[in-house]
Chains A and B, each alone.
Chain A
Amino acid sequence: GQQLNQSPQSMFIQEGEDVSMNCTSSSIFNTWLWYKQDPGEGPVLLIALYKAGELTSNGRLTAQFGITRKDSFLNISASIPSDVGIYFCAGQETGANNLFFGTGTRLTVIP
């Protein structure tokens, strides 16, 4: 299946720093989703985006649906140790049933 390119692959940051990660696709998506996965657990939805240009926040997290509909960005402000985990973007094509997942960004927060 299709896979989305996510970057960076991993990040090591100090507690309190801001984080940015992005996801790009060769296809146009009508929905972009961002998930966080803890070790040994299923992904948990963080933010869902449904319109090109949409900017949505969830606490310290902000995500944007790119204007071209081929990319999306996730920002985490003032990181804390519990932000540690793997972040995945996921996209859904118009009329499609399933999600395509990004390659993941592994975040490590150093206290």
Chain B
Amino acid sequence: GAVVSQHPSWVICKSGTSVKIECRSLDFQATTMFWYRQFPKQSLMLMATSNEGSKATYEQGVEKDKFLINHASLTLSTLTVTSAHPEDSSFYICSARGGGGTQAFFGQGTRLTVV
């Protein structure tokens, strides 16, 4: 299967700072990337969908000014959590899908802890 790599795997940051998470498709071109958030013992909740070269589409209740998504190339999407607060602490997971593909492949996730 295709490989999607997320970086970093975990990050601890101070409240009020910003954190950037990268999602890369290593062996295919990802026309669409998805960002999910998963709280402990809960399911994955879709935050936003991004297509290369265009603005991301955010799910209801997700603040687009707080969670900045950039999908500038076919192999890289970034999620920036701005002015992070402790309640933003969560497991963030990306997935990527190639053009014409029906399957999306997941990254290994990034655990964000805001202190």
A interface residues, Cβ below 8 angstroms from B = 1, 3, 31, 33, 35, 40-45, 48, 50, 88, 97-104
CA distance A17 to B95 in the complex (A): 33
A101 touches B49 (CB 8 A): no
Contact of B102 among A44, A50, A88, A104 (CB under 8 A): A50
CB of A42 within 8 A of CB of B43, answer no
Which A residues are CB-close (under 8 A) to B67?
none
Total chain B interface residues with beta-carbon distance under 8 A: 26
Which of B1, B60, B108 is within 8 Å of A42, CB to CB? B108
Tell me the nearest residue of chain B to A30, going by C-beta: B102
Check B109–A3 contact: CB distance below 8 A.
no
Residue B59 is within 8 A (CB to CB) of chain A in the complex: yes
Question: What is the chain B residue whose CB lies nearest that of A102?
Answer: B43
**30 contacting pairs across A/B (C-beta < 8 A):** A1-B46, A1-B60, A3-B43, A35-B106, A40-B109, A40-B111, A41-B108, A41-B109, A42-B4, A42-B6, A42-B93, A43-B44, A43-B93, A43-B106, A44-B106, A45-B1, A45-B105, A48-B102, A50-B102, A88-B44, A98-B49, A99-B34, A99-B46, A99-B95, A99-B104, A101-B43, A101-B44, A101-B45, A102-B43, A103-B43
**Complex contacts, A99 vs chain B, CB 8 Å:** 34, 46, 95, 104
Interchain CA distance A3-B103 in the complex, whole Å: 19
Say how far A56's CB is from chain B's closest CB, in angstroms. 14
* Given contact pairs A1-B60, A42-B6, A98-B49, A88 touches B43 in the complex (Cβ within 8 A): yes
Per-residue CB contact flags for chain B residues 38-62 toward chain A (1 = under 8 Å, else 0) read 0000111110010000000001100
Closest to B97 in A: A97
Do B109 and A45 have beta carbons less than 8 Å apart?
A: no
Residues in B neighbouring A101, C-beta threshold 8 A: 36, 43-45
B32 in contact (CB, < 8 A):
yes
User: Chain B residues with Cβ under 8 A from A3's Cβ?
Assistant: 43
A98 and B102 contact, Cβ closer than 8 Å, known pairs A1-B60, A40-B109 = no
Q: Are A97 and B32 in contact (CB under 8 A)?
A: yes
Contacts of B60 in A (CB 8 A): 1
Contact B43 A104 (CB under 8 A): yes
